[in-house]
Amino acid sequence: MRLLPAAALALLLSACGEAPPPVPAQSRLVVLGFDGMDPQLVERWMDEGLLPEFDRLRRDGHYQPLGTSNPPQSPVAWSSFATGLGPGGHGIHDFLRRDPATYQPDFSIARYTPPSTLDLFGWRLPFGEGTLENLRQGQSFWMAATEQGQRATVLRVPVTYPPEPIEHMLSGMGVPDLLGSQGTYTYYSTRPPPPPGSGSRVVQMRLTTDGRVQTQLDGPAHPLSTDATPLSLPLILQFDADGAQIELGGQTRRLAVGEWSDWWPLQFEH
């Protein structure tokens, strides 16, 4: 379980002192927030010289540990950070919430309501568009600033999807992937796969005598098809003592042992 941001580093680029002067109209405020940060460790590392830039900002700007939310979970704490409200005010109490209609657990951050559809000859035709709603209540401080004519840039703050109507926003935790999940990964191994778990696809590879594996990478299902079978791409791996050659999506790349590839854009045909 991911915990709340136990500390945030608020850096006001102004003079030092117990009572800083009023901020000029053109000054900028930069707030750095870290999910799961331990302020005691950060302070120790700053004192030991391991975080010199943070230490400089602590001296020249403003530094203060922040208390956490109750319960101490990421979506709860970040919602309090954004709105200044407690869980009773912004409505986010956990990663999950209870659906009062079914009593089943549901995602607490956002809610997607699909459009009405018509199934016809194997195709699922939508009528109109679905709706997407951020379930966090209350006004974020950047929206309040925007309404007062100030410019705000918000990058990867959790519980901000769908993005709010400001000029510069990149949503953070809570953005779904193409499957509509919070991040489904595929893991390939020569060992037998464990029981299916949340957020994972485990594929057992079978090597030939010459170190070759022929398998597939599953993607999303076709969004307009009644068939829920995932679209897939052939995946061929050729292993040797130094690494592996990978063929995927019409591209071939080679990786050494322990090497990460660059991002690999793929297109699933249908």
- For the stretch 101-117, pLDDT in tens is 999 999 999 999 999 99
Residue 23, pLDDT > 70, answer no
Rg (CA), the chain: 24
d(CA 137, CA 86): 10
- Among 2-11, 71-80, 137-146, which stretch is predicted with the lowest mean pLDDT? 2-11
Contacts 24+ apart (CB under 8 A), 139-143: 139/83, 140/82, 140/83, 140/164, 141/82, 141/83, 141/84, 142/82, 142/166
Local confidence band at 22 (pLDDT 50, 70, 90 cut-offs): low
Local confidence band at 25 (pLDDT 50, 70, 90 cut-offs): low
pLDDT of residue 12: 35
Give the residue extent of every domain in the chain: 185-256
d(CA 221, CA 223): 6
d(CA 246, CA 243): 10
pLDDT of residue 9: 40
Query: Which tokens sit at 56?
Result: 């400089």
State the pairing for strand pair 7-12/29-34. antiparallel
pTM passes above 0.75: yes
Average pLDDT value for the chain: 88
The residue to which tokens 């953005």 are assigned: 175
Side chain identity at residue 9, one-letter code = L
Instruction: Give me the percent of the chain exceeding a pLDDT of 70.
Output: 89
Local confidence band at 2 (pLDDT 50, 70, 90 cut-offs): very low
Sign of torsion over alpha carbons 228, 233, 234, 235: negative
Which residues, at least 6 apart from 153, have a Cβ–Cβ distance to it below 8 Å?
167, 168, 169
Local confidence band at 32 (pLDDT 50, 70, 90 cut-offs): confident
